[in-house]
A and B are shown apart, each in its own frame.
Chain A
Amino acid sequence: MLKYKPFIFRLLETDRGSKYFVAILLALMVLVPVCNLAVPESSAFHMPVYGVTLIGKYLTYALLAISLDLVWGYLGILSLGHGAFFGLGGYAMGMYLMRQIGDRGVYGHPVLPDFMVFLDYKELPWFWYGFDQFWFAALMVVLVPGLLAFVFGWLAFRSRVTGVYLSIITQALTYALMLAFFRNNFGFGGNNGLTDFKDILGFDLRSDGTRIALFVCSALAVMLGYFACRFIVQSRLGSLVMAIRDSEGRVRALGYRDEYYKLFVFVVAAMLAGVAGALYVPQVGIINPGEFSPINSIEMVIWVAMGGRGTLYGAALGAVVVNFAKTYFTAVAPEVWLFILGGLFVGVTLFLPRGIVGAIQKIRGMLGASRNTGLPGMAAKK
């Protein structure tokens, strides 16, 4: 055995689920493009391009779920407004894509996007400056959600708003954003949102090559995001964060300024959500204010709860499973979907408090393989 192990292996070695998760992600990253490009279309293993994009979309949701799990599972804050950060990241990317259209829009204006010509704007609003540069847009994708999270968190954590109150004001936050973005004169396309994108960094968005590249980027982003989160939760900071989750008063009494730790994790999670939104928009081809609706944010919570809160990979698993079910049922029997979703909320909270991952661990526990249930770092309750 080597005395020194690479950093990434150290991150993974304590956790069997992490190893599976990273292995599956790597396999996806290789297999999906191969199945699309190298396998002939007649073969049963051929992956059509829309399938690639669909999985890419699920992966962005997975990243979003991981970031939400960081906040909910490890920090103990149930954010019902996580969609706000996702949406803001998406809008930042959407603005870049809008500017890339140039004079190819319906109205052919060299600078103004179509909806601005339609709404009779004379010149570009100041907050659209700079979005013709990719680096600037990419910066904004993390900065804008991060800044919002910073301001919001700073106000909330300093005045020690916790628990349900915090959940409700995060919901109010995303609700207010939705109302604002729905307004036509807000400068972000009103209820139609931003759409009709043409290309990204000079590559045509509709071409198969770009779509596969976006898929690979999404998978990479999930992997990097996962490692970042895993690094945070396994560091000393992570232990402290989990201590805050379990007994905030005691941490404070030990002399830690808990609000700064909470703020740091909250801002990181918001930035990750922004990245997820930015990867989501070019693959789906549209961003509209519906992304800010409170129900969207609550749906994200059920992904995490379904997969298993406080495990990171469980959140990603839940996001994929729930969204796969959503895609399937809304196509086959749309009226049943809400019954299923609603049933999931009730059923998971009543019968699967630790989600799928928790259930698997429990079964393994019964078989005597492992005794580790409950949130990580938490002494078994009762």
Chain B
Amino acid sequence: MKRLLFLAFFSLVFLSGLDAADHTNSDSLIQSSFRLLSSKSFADKATAINSIAESGSSHAVLVLSSILEGDLYYHKKNKNMVLVTETTPRHYEITDPLTEELVSTKSKKELRKKYKKVGINNKLRGLLNEKLAALTIYSKDKSTRLRSTRKLLKNLNPSTVELLRDAAPRETDPQVKELMQVCIAVSDARSKDPEIQLGAINELAGSLYPEVRVLLEELKTAYTDSVAADPRLLPAVDSALRATSLKVSFYKQVENIFFGLSLGSVLLLAAVGLAITFGVMGVINMAHGEMLMLGAYTTFVVQQLMPNSIEYSLFVAIPAAFIVTGLAGIAIERGIIRYLYGRPLETLLATFGLSLVLQQLVRSIFSPLNRSVITPQWMSGSFEFNPALSLTYNRMYIVVFALMVLFGLLWLLKKTSFGLQMRAVTQNRNMAKAMGIRTGWVDALTFGLGSGIAGIGGVALSQLTNVGPNLGQAYIVDSFMVVVFGGVGNLWGTFFGAMILGITNKFMEPMTGAVFAKILVLIFIILFIQRYPRGMFALKGRAAES
């Protein structure tokens, strides 16, 4: 009871904001319990933890969580408490936990010599978790409340449930409130009274938290074995479990589709450049994978050049990669490919040789090892729809980015005069020439465009896979499959080809394993091409004949 009073007092203070007097006052309360923390006895430490938790200081959460993480140390002689954080490997910053001022920096050896960690055992760990949760479920910040309630669900005990019973009615946010009620229901489901149990189980039906699922499974086995249990309980548990598993499998499908779409977007980014060079121009560019690789390495170089603003590096890398690979593409077209028009098999061989040279060049300049490209903060992490479905941000951005690239390209082809010239040259070169179009330059620019798009794809790939000299090889076969499957010379075909292949791959993976899924997809495409040699969206009419 006394603790609850304290808590009420504390929350009042905490919620109404702290003035300076209270601040120093509560800090001195913590300061006085620090002496107990450096004691050897765990009972003393428990007392200290209790009084810190009840001090009402804004630093209490920091101090308690640092004890839990093992970051709180005390000086061996004067028993001063300090906070230790590892800044670089084996180098530590030592700060005062209350004033947050830097005391000193120490190497690992010096740290060991002068300071000692505040040791805890399992019982104290439980106490700390409980106190921290109690401190944070009344926090002003919604996400802190949500996080701490989520933590409580992991290890519920009678006292935390009491805490939640108090907190739930006062909670204003529906999401947090629902989670709190789940916690209470989980505890009620273990109650002795079958009525309460029944109510709780019905409430838990369809809940997606893994803890709830574990509990329901447990209850099911317990009731199946026991004769004494209330006969209404087993069917209730069964239907609750069914509702839950139905929902889980639904979200699993949603997740699969999302993964498929994101894989499809990766394929689309890799293949859309090829859809220009191969699909529109009819040039077999085996060095296409290396254009992706060049784009990825451009990202790496850009990040090396601007180490202090990684957050914006991608916005610089995208145009840079487009320019670098675009120029490389123009050089390749002018230097090699223009001599080989009309000899597709020779083009294939020459560009394949080029891909070997480019790979070795990158290996010689950068190193044969993978280079690490940093993912900016805004792209990492994931968005949690519910406990069974969370989608990572980088995959979401890839999907959006792939669509942007596709539509940008469509716009370029259909609405600009360059696009018009390009289509004119591919449809009837001689007539285009007669109309005064410089076909040679259009060829070079088209090839440069396809390569540049591949470079942009490489920037996106650098965020998903390892950036190494073999990056391109991994995608070249896939890219050709997508273009050929979709139908040559048709960007929408490429889009649907990529998405269908991506989703098929992801749906088959759980059944057959990743590698075998890929083999099956390859075989499927081989058979498909034999049935429909010109792909899904075949060009009809005169253009198809060439």
Instruction: Kindly state the interface size class of chain B when it binds its partner.
Output: 35 or more
Q: A164-B344, A353-B346 are in contact. Are A345 and B515 (CB under 8 A)?
A: no
Question: Is B356 within 8 A of A164, CB to CB?
Answer: no
Question: Is A175 within 8 A of B477, CB to CB?
Answer: yes
Stretch in contact with the other chain, from B148-156, B308-316, B404-412, B526-534: B526-534
Question: Is B480 within 8 A of A335, CB to CB?
Answer: no
Looking at the assembled complex, report how far the CB atom of A206 sits from the nearest CB atom of chain B, in whole angstroms: 34
* Contact pattern, B 512-546, Cβ under 8 Å of A = 1, otherwise 0: 00011011001101110111010000000000000
Q: A78-B345, A176-B519, A353-B346 are in contact. Are A294 and B354 (CB under 8 A)?
A: no
Question: Is A339 within 8 A of B360, CB to CB?
Answer: yes
Closest chain A residue to B347, Cβ basis: A349
Looking at the assembled complex, report how far the CB atom of B235 sits from the nearest CB atom of chain A, in whole angstroms: 42
B contact residues around A180 at 8 Å (CB): 516, 519
B contact residues around A342 at 8 Å (CB): 353-358, 360
Stretch in contact with the other chain, from A166-174, A194-202, A271-279: A166-174
A contact residues around B523 at 8 Å (CB): 176
Closest chain B residue to A164, Cβ basis: B344
* Contact pattern, B 327-359, Cβ under 8 Å of A = 1, otherwise 0: 000000000100110001111111011111111
Interface residues of A (CB under 8 A from B): 78, 155-156, 158-161, 163-165, 167-169, 171-173, 175-176, 179-180, 182-183, 294-295, 298, 301-302, 305, 335, 338-339, 341-346, 348-350, 353
Question: Is A169 within 8 A of B526, CB to CB?
Answer: yes
Cα(A342)–Cα(B515), bound, Å? 29
B484 interfacial by beta-carbon distance below 8 Å: yes
Question: Is B357 within 8 A of A339, CB to CB?
Answer: yes
Q: A172-B522, A349-B340 are in contact. Are A344 and B363 (CB under 8 A)?
A: no
B contact residues around A346 at 8 Å (CB): 336, 350, 353-354, 357
A-B contact pairs, 30 of them (CB 8 A): A78-B345, A158-B530, A163-B344, A164-B284, A169-B530, A173-B526, A176-B522, A176-B526, A179-B522, A180-B519, A183-B516, A294-B477, A298-B352, A305-B349, A338-B357, A339-B357, A341-B356, A342-B353, A342-B357, A342-B358, A344-B353, A345-B350, A345-B354, A345-B356, A348-B349, A349-B346, A349-B349, A349-B350, A350-B339, A350-B350
B contact residues around A163 at 8 Å (CB): 344-345
Looking at the assembled complex, report how far the CB atom of B504 sits from the nearest CB atom of chain A, in whole angstroms: 15
Looking at the assembled complex, report how far the CB atom of B425 sits from the nearest CB atom of chain A, in whole angstroms: 20
Question: Is B533 within 8 A of A335, CB to CB?
Answer: no
Cα(A172)–Cα(B479), bound, Å? 11
Looking at the assembled complex, report how far the CB atom of B541 sits from the nearest CB atom of chain A, in whole angstroms: 19
Question: Is A343 within 8 A of B357, CB to CB?
Answer: yes
B contact residues around A305 at 8 Å (CB): 349
Closest chain A residue to B522, Cβ basis: A176
Smallest CB-CB A-B distances: 10 pairs: A345-B353, A342-B356, A342-B357, A338-B360, A342-B353, A176-B522, A349-B350, A349-B346, A159-B530, A346-B353
B481 interfacial by beta-carbon distance below 8 Å: yes
Cα(A246)–Cα(B360), bound, Å? 37
Cα(A339)–Cα(B358), bound, Å? 8
B contact residues around A339 at 8 Å (CB): 356-357, 360-361
Question: Is B529 within 8 A of A169, CB to CB?
Answer: yes
Cα(A220)–Cα(B150), bound, Å? 76
Looking at the assembled complex, report how far the CB atom of B523 sits from the nearest CB atom of chain A, in whole angstroms: 6
Question: Is A161 within 8 A of B533, CB to CB?
Answer: yes
B16 interfacial by beta-carbon distance below 8 Å: no
**11 extra interchain contacts, Cβ-Cβ under 8 A, other than A163-B345, A180-B519, A342-B360?**
A161-B530, A167-B345, A168-B481, A169-B525, A169-B529, A175-B477, A176-B523, A343-B353, A349-B340, A350-B339, A350-B340
Cα(A302)–Cα(B354), bound, Å? 13
A contact residues around B473 at 8 Å (CB): 295
B122 interfacial by beta-carbon distance below 8 Å: no
Looking at the assembled complex, report how far the CB atom of A304 sits from the nearest CB atom of chain B, in whole angstroms: 10
B99 interfacial by beta-carbon distance below 8 Å: no
A contact residues around B530 at 8 Å (CB): 155-156, 158-159, 161, 169
Q: A165-B533, A342-B355 are in contact. Are A179 and B345 (CB under 8 A)?
A: no
Question: Is B346 within 8 A of A338, CB to CB?
Answer: no
Question: Is A183 within 8 A of B515, CB to CB?
Answer: yes
Closest chain A residue to B345, Cβ basis: A78
B377 interfacial by beta-carbon distance below 8 Å: no
Cα(A343)–Cα(B480), bound, Å? 24
Cα(A171)–Cα(B345), bound, Å? 13
A contact residues around B361 at 8 Å (CB): 339
B78 interfacial by beta-carbon distance below 8 Å: no
A contact residues around B345 at 8 Å (CB): 78, 163-164, 167
Cα(A183)–Cα(B481), bound, Å? 22
Contact of B353 among A165, A169, A294, A341 (CB under 8 A): A341
Closest chain A residue to B340, Cβ basis: A349
Closest chain A residue to B357, Cβ basis: A342
Looking at the assembled complex, report how far the CB atom of B356 sits from the nearest CB atom of chain A, in whole angstroms: 4
* Contact pattern, B 407-419, Cβ under 8 Å of A = 1, otherwise 0: 0000000000000
Question: Is A161 within 8 A of B340, CB to CB?
Answer: no
B contact residues around A298 at 8 Å (CB): 349, 352
Looking at the assembled complex, report how far the CB atom of A108 sits from the nearest CB atom of chain B, in whole angstroms: 32
B364 interfacial by beta-carbon distance below 8 Å: yes
B contact residues around A158 at 8 Å (CB): 530
Looking at the assembled complex, report how far the CB atom of A60 sits from the nearest CB atom of chain B, in whole angstroms: 23
Looking at the assembled complex, report how far the CB atom of A77 sits from the nearest CB atom of chain B, in whole angstroms: 10
Cα(A182)–Cα(B513), bound, Å? 13
Question: Taking each of A159, A180, A343, A345, which has the highest tally of chain B beta carbons within 10 Å of its own beta carbon?
Answer: A345
Cα(A294)–Cα(B356), bound, Å? 13
Looking at the assembled complex, report how far the CB atom of A274 sits from the nearest CB atom of chain B, in whole angstroms: 20
Looking at the assembled complex, report how far the CB atom of B359 sits from the nearest CB atom of chain A, in whole angstroms: 7
Interface residues of B in 420-478 (CB under 8 A from A): 473, 477
A contact residues around B354 at 8 Å (CB): 342, 345-346
Closest chain B residue to A171, Cβ basis: B477
Contact of B480 among A168, A179, A338 (CB under 8 A): A168
Looking at the assembled complex, report how far the CB atom of B22 sits from the nearest CB atom of chain A, in whole angstroms: 66
B contact residues around A183 at 8 Å (CB): 515-516
Question: Is B515 within 8 A of A182, CB to CB?
Answer: yes
Closest chain A residue to B278, Cβ basis: A164
Looking at the assembled complex, report how far the CB atom of B367 sits from the nearest CB atom of chain A, in whole angstroms: 11
Looking at the assembled complex, report how far the CB atom of B43 sits from the nearest CB atom of chain A, in whole angstroms: 53
Question: Is B339 within 8 A of A338, CB to CB?
Answer: no
Cα(A298)–Cα(B352), bound, Å? 8
A contact residues around B480 at 8 Å (CB): 168, 171
Closest chain B residue to A173, Cβ basis: B526
